[in-house]
Amino acid sequence: MSLFADRELAWMIGGILAFLSIASLIAGVLKGRARSEAAQATVANLVARIRAWWAMVVVFGIAIATGGYGSLVMFAIVSFLAMREFMTLLPTRRADHRAMVWTFFLFLPAQYYFVATGWYGMFALLIPVYAYLLLPSVQVLGGDTEDFLARTSRLQWVLMICVFCVSHAPALQMLEIPGYEGQGAKLLLFLVVVTQISDVLQYTVGKLFGRRKAVPTVSPNKTVEGYIGGGGLAVLIGTALWWATPFAPWQAALLSLVIVLAGIAGGLVMSAVKRDRQVKDFGALIPGHGGVLDRIDSLCFSAPLFFHLTRFFFT
């Protein structure tokens, strides 16, 4: 489906570009006003973040505009980069090498192949069943039992988060919703917009009005005010986008709430993983944001829930 053939899709993309332009303008004004060193550092980070957002929107926009396969390839690359970051942090042993090669060169392409062909059964089972049983079998042939349960669990977890969960975002386009055929790109855009705007607004509201720390031992920058204010605003935005989805406004509101809550959980869980591995970010690929996995932590949790709720109630 082409970007310009669908009015609603063009409106959504136009809205994102307008939103980013306003953000760039505000950042420009703030840059001139920042006096103290701390304020300047915050604004510099803000500018870097917004610049990276422009790049991400351009990449994602091209992916969406080139139809289903474009976004499929983009998310496959995202999975690859996320898994590369995650694997780097894992304490693996020599005997895990073969299983790790399989996760990258067998399970990752196979999962996206099943999304591309719309084979729902294999898409849903490949990683939870086949990879779940095959990976430890390959690992055990390495003959090293030291730390075995933890080693095999970590590998499963990485594959689930980076490939299985992420692949549910482009898979939205394979759902056959009556009266909404061939418009899956907007559903994907809806998910990504609500998830990411929720992150952005939580950060913004938290910076401006944050007082009470929500979970200080896991993520010291997250505040109750940020969660409620930013999350609430994201639900409103999601509801206001109902016209681009197959949902009624109240359904869009409920699904947005699920996306926001799942995103919050994803952000916290991945923060805990980073604390556990004693790193601040998963990588440094996206200036101002950190790694790819830092940017999509919320999406990893929101995509599968949104996919299955939509599939259950609307197809």
Partner 1 sequence: MLLEKIVSACLRGLCRLFTGANPRWLCDPRSLAPRVYFANHCSHLDTVVVWSTLPDTLRERTRPVAARDYWGHGTVRRFVAERVFDALLIDRKAAEGTELVEQQRQETLDAMTAVLDSERSLILYPEGTRGSGEAVQPFRAGLYHLARTRPAVPLVPVYLGNLARILPKGAALPVPMQGRVVFGPELRIAIGEEKHAFLERCRQAVLELAGDRA
Q: Using CB under 8 A, list all residues that contact partner 1.
A: 80, 83-85, 87-88, 92, 94, 97-98, 100-101, 104-105, 283-285
Count CB neighbours of 102 within 10 A: 19
List 213's β-bridge partners, or say none. Answer: 223
- Alpha-carbon torsion 27, 28, 32, 37, what sign? positive
Q: How is the chain split among helix, strand and coil, in percent rounded to 5?
A: 80, 0, 20
Nearest CB to partner 1, comparing residues 90 and 258: 90
Question: At closest approach, how far in Å is the CB of 166 from partner 1?
Answer: 16
Question: At closest approach, how far in Å is the CB of 69 from partner 1?
Answer: 21
Nearest CB to partner 1, comparing residues 18 and 284: 284
Nearest CB to partner 1, comparing residues 199 and 294: 294
Question: At closest approach, how far in Å is the CB of 159 from partner 1?
Answer: 13
Q: Which residue has the tokens 């988060």?
A: 161
Q: CB neighbours of 312 closer than 8 A, spacing ≥ 6?
A: none
Question: At closest approach, how far in Å is the CB of 206 from partner 1?
Answer: 27
Nearest CB to partner 1, comparing residues 83 and 252: 83
Question: At closest approach, how far in Å is the CB of 84 from partner 1?
Answer: 4
Nearest CB to partner 1, comparing residues 199 and 297: 297
Q: CB neighbours of 280 closer than 8 A, spacing ≥ 6?
A: 274, 290
**DSSP class of 215:** S
Distance CA 23, CA 116 (A): 35
